[in-house]
Structure 1
Amino acid sequence: MSENVSATELASQYTAQVTADLERNVKEQERVSAEIAALNEQLAALQHDHSVLVSIRQAIDAAPAPASTGQPSDSVSVPAPRKKAAARSGTGKRTQPKKTASQPARPAEKPAGPKRAGKAEATSTAQPTLVDLVRHHLAEQKEPRSAAEIAAALGRSHPERTVKATVVRTTLEGLVAKTQAQRSKQGSSVFYTAADAPKQATPAQGEDQPASADA
């Protein structure tokens, strides 16, 4: 009898445990089902929002088309000021013939050219070459002169020019080579006279020897 009692107790215990497990299982299924339902609702809401956002973006992308077509209408008004500017430029062009009409008065300025040419000729004639200056200076002298004396005399008579004794000596030697001047020596000094100078001037060379020594 005791064995039968213990078996029934075990069976009742197993039955109670299984029943409790079944209840927990059912509750868990309900909980999961509720979560799935909530997730499905969230998914449906997200899908709805997605479709709404897509439609809004499409509307925004399509919006610039009418705006871009409206911009040319604003830019069409730009040529009006350009036409006015063109009209002003046209009036400016019309005023140009007046300037050209006054241009015939310019030929009166042409005589300035000959004046400048006259000035150029005057300056060219006013500044003879060093060869001419040396030749004329020798022609005016009655006695032989050294290169230093001639350079000093030309420097005094032409202060605007730089006359160097070495350049004058080279010029005198060139005149001697062309037989346009004569050269004579007195000791270590060299004197020059014009080619057509009289030979009587040579005795006076002794008097000028101290001057050449200073040169």
Structure 2
Amino acid sequence: MSENAPITELTSQYTAQVTADLEHNAKEQERISSEIAALQEQLTALQRNHTVLVSIQRAIDAAPAPAENAAGSDDATVPAPRKKTAAQPESHGRQRTKKAAAEPRRAPADKPAARKSGGKTTATKKTAQPTLVDLVRRHLAEQSEPRSAAEVAAALGKAHPEREIKANVVRTTIEGLVAKSQAQRTKQGSSVYYTGPDTREQAAQSKEQPEPAGA
């Protein structure tokens, strides 16, 4: 009896599994058959619509023949007004071409002259203003003592408020003058000061002159 007990348990498990699979299979068949029926209905509806559309298309293809005859009968009465409308564009076209031929001769006479004159005025305005190099050179030449780049920039900014003068730009400008021997550079500790090309010589001469008097 103990040996037959496991066998009966396995058979009961298999039977339960098979019955569950059969139920699932039957449900799937019902679902798919219902979907097939719905798709079949959609297919029949599309086929009906197709036949209707084909019949309408055939009716439309057969319609142009009488329409062409009607158009031909209308064309027989239209030629006279068409000749009049065709004659009007020619007159308008001739008038426009005459105007177009007359206008370009007048227009270009004044505009280039105005542009050239405007360009000359702007060129004269630009050349009238001194460059930053000239301003820095003049300022250093007028100073009797060394000046830093910040002092030169501040002085030029006050003298020329209409221009944007920055200290770093002034410093690079002065260094360019120093490279061209048009300005002198001196150091006092960690600070750098600049003078004109002749200011340093004048300062040296003023130091040399008092020595004979003291002696």
User: What's the TM-score, normalizing by structure 1?
Assistant: 0.55
| Map of 2:74 onto structure 1 | 71
Matched, 1:179 2:181: yes
- String of CA shifts for 1:97-135, please: whole Å, max 9, x gaps: 44356x2x8535554345324312322223332222211
| Map of 1:212 onto structure 2 | none
Contact 2:184 2:200 in 1 (8 A): no
The offset of 1:170, in angstroms, is: 1.6
Contact 1:144 1:193 in 2 (8 A): yes
The offset of 1:142, in angstroms, is: 2.1
Equivalent positions of 1:32-111 (< 5 A) are 63-64=66-67, 66-76=69-79, 77-99=81-103, 103=106, 107=109, 110-111=112-113
Task: State how far apart, in whole Å, the 1-side matches of 2:195 and 2:173 are.
Answer: 13
Contact 1:183 1:190 in 2 (8 A): yes
- String of CA shifts for 1:69-124, please: whole Å, max 9, x gaps: 213224533342121122222233334444356x2x85355543453243123222
The unaligned stretches of length 5 or more in structure 1 are 1-59, 205-215
Equivalent of residue 121 in structure 1, options 109, 120, 123: 123
Identity rate, percent: 45
Task: State how far apart, in whole Å, the 1-side matches of 2:198 and 2:153 are.
Answer: 21
Task: State how far apart, in whole Å, the 2-side matches of 1:62 and 1:145 are.
Answer: 102
Matched, 1:143 2:145: yes
The offset of 1:200, in angstroms, is: 3.5
Task: State how far apart, in whole Å, the 2-side matches of 1:97 and 1:79 are.
Answer: 28
| Map of 2:193 onto structure 1 | 191
The offset of 1:160, in angstroms, is: 1.5
Number of aligned residue pairs: give it: 143
The unaligned stretches of length 5 or more in structure 2 are 1-62, 207-215
CA RMSD of aligned residues (A): 3.1
Letter of the structure 1 residue corresponding to residue 89 of structure 2:
A
